[in-house]
Structure 1
Amino acid sequence: MYLKVHHTPQGEVVAVCDADLLNTTLSHGDVRIAITGAFYGTEQATEEEIRAALKNASNANLMGKKATGIAISMG
């Protein structure tokens, strides 16, 4: 999985995506989401690093079954 923390005046936005989704575009009807390294990061992260980042997040952007599964397991 890939992880990038964006620091904003309103708090931290944690972006996590599954490795197989990086540099792809998801489509559903007229909606398209580009999953890029610019937003989700370019270095892989461990599950422990992702959990630590999510604990401090004001907002999270999660893409993929693994990424969302971690957040769901955290409650």
Structure 2
Amino acid sequence: MIVNERETEEGLLVAICDSDVLGETFETGDISLTVTEDFYGGDEADEDAVVDSLARATVANIVGTRSVDLAIDEGFVDEANVLEVGATRHAQLLRL
């Protein structure tokens, strides 16, 4: 998995994706999701590092079956809020 962390005025923005979806575009109906290097590119991370980033995130964007499943398993994302976009999954996390 790849993790990119950015500090913003609103808090920590975390972008996580499966390594194999970086650079890919997924579509379902009117929804199109491009996993760009600019936004999702970052450092390779193991599951512990991904969980640590999600625990500290104010906002997180998560793409890829493995990454989204980990976020669900660790209680950060509810399965009911996951989008199926083409052959991948996408979820967002927002802490208020």
Q: Give the TM-score taking structure 1 as reference length.
A: 0.89
CA distance in 2: counterparts of 1:51 and 1:2, whole angstroms: 12
CA distance in 1: counterparts of 2:50 and 2:8, whole angstroms: 18
2:94 paired residue number: none
Q: Give the TM-score taking structure 2 as reference length.
A: 0.71
Q: Percent identity?
A: 35
2:66 paired residue number: 66
Q: Deviations over 1:12-48 (max 9, x none)?
A: 1111011111110111122211101211124311111
Q: Aligned-residue CA RMSD in angstroms?
A: 1.2
Poorly superposed stretches of 4+, deviation over 3 Å: none
Q: Name the structure, 1 or 2, with higher relative contact order (CA <8 Å, separation 6+).
A: 1
CA distance in 2: counterparts of 1:14 and 1:43, whole angstroms: 12
1:26 paired residue number: 26
Q: Is 1:54 aligned to 2:69, yes or no?
A: no
Structure 1: segments with no counterpart, 5+ residues: none
CA distance in 1: counterparts of 2:19 and 2:68, whole angstroms: 13
Larger helix percent: 1
Please identify, of 56-65 and 27-36, the stretch whose mean Cα deviation from structure 2 is larger: 27-36
1:10 paired residue number: 10
